[in-house]
Amino acid sequence: DIQLTQSPSILSASVGDRVTITCRASQIISDWLAWYQQKPGKAPKLLIYKTSSLESGVPSRFSGSGSGTEFTLTISSLQPDDFATYYCQQYNHYWTFGQGTRVEIK
Amino acid sequence: QVQLVESGGGVVQPGKSLRLSCAASGFTFSDYEMHWVRQAPGRGLDWVASISYDGSNKYFADSVKGRFTISRDESKNLVDLQMNSLRAEDSAVYYCVRGTAAGDYWGQGALVTVSS
């Protein structure tokens, strides 16, 4: 099974900060990686698919990069609406999710 | 617009069964793989099962293999998750998800509580 490890688990940041979340896969997954945002009591929302493709309607301050086993989600300028939990997901072989990164207000 | 609406959640005793349904609308159902993902209270996302667009291929997480089954009804645009031999650790919100690659649409979730 493919394991995904996100870091950090909790990220404290301020509005306007540039933030980066890392996701490492236990084996090569090509570029079959997605990122989701989840707010309390809500279903996850797809932000990025195929490592770097922005889902329709998602603000351009979100971007993804990486390949092979190491991937990043970057928010270029954190906005109040961005405080949430973020998950990476691989879909190279079935589905696996990372454990999540909570972005909280500093 | 795309809609996924789960139903069938509730409280069930350990060892018993429960069937979740997901009603899909707003898209060509037969074009998409469908998935179930769960989230225990305060925990992360956990993939449960997937079914191919035509129902010919089904995949399960090791934690539910042999206990859960997944099916789809093209005539009704439904995808079901039959859960047998339920355990306390199966307690979670279960989401129905559309996606032939990543999950681009998610339902609102159905809460399943396994407790005596």
Question: pLDDT by residue (tens digit) across B7-40?
Answer: 999 999 999 999 999 999 999 999 999 999 999 9
* Spatial CB neighbours of A41, under 8 Å, sequence gap ≥ 6: none
- Check CB contact under 8 Å for B101 and A91: yes
Q: A43–B108: do the CB atoms touch at under 8 Å?
A: yes
Q: How far from B24 is each of A97, B4, B5, B17, B78, CA to CA, in Å?
A: 24, 5, 7, 23, 6
Of A83, A35, A104, A67, which is closest to residue B45 (Cα–Cα)?
A35
Residue A81, min C-alpha distance to chain B (Å): 20
Whole-angstrom distance between the N-terminal and C-terminal Cα of chain A? 36
Chain A residues whose beta carbon lies within 8 Å of the beta carbon of residue B45: 36, 38, 44, 87, 89, 97, 100
Average pLDDT over residues A11-18: 96
Across the interface, whether the CB atoms of A55 and B104 are under 8 A apart is answered: yes
Residues A37-79 pLDDT 10s: 999 999 999 999 999 999 999 999 999 999 999 999 999 999 9
Residues of B in contact with A49 (CB under 8 A): 101-102, 104
Tally of CB atoms within 10 A around A53: 15
Q: Which two tokens stand for residue B87?
A: 């355990």
**Residue B105, min C-alpha distance to chain A (Å):** 8
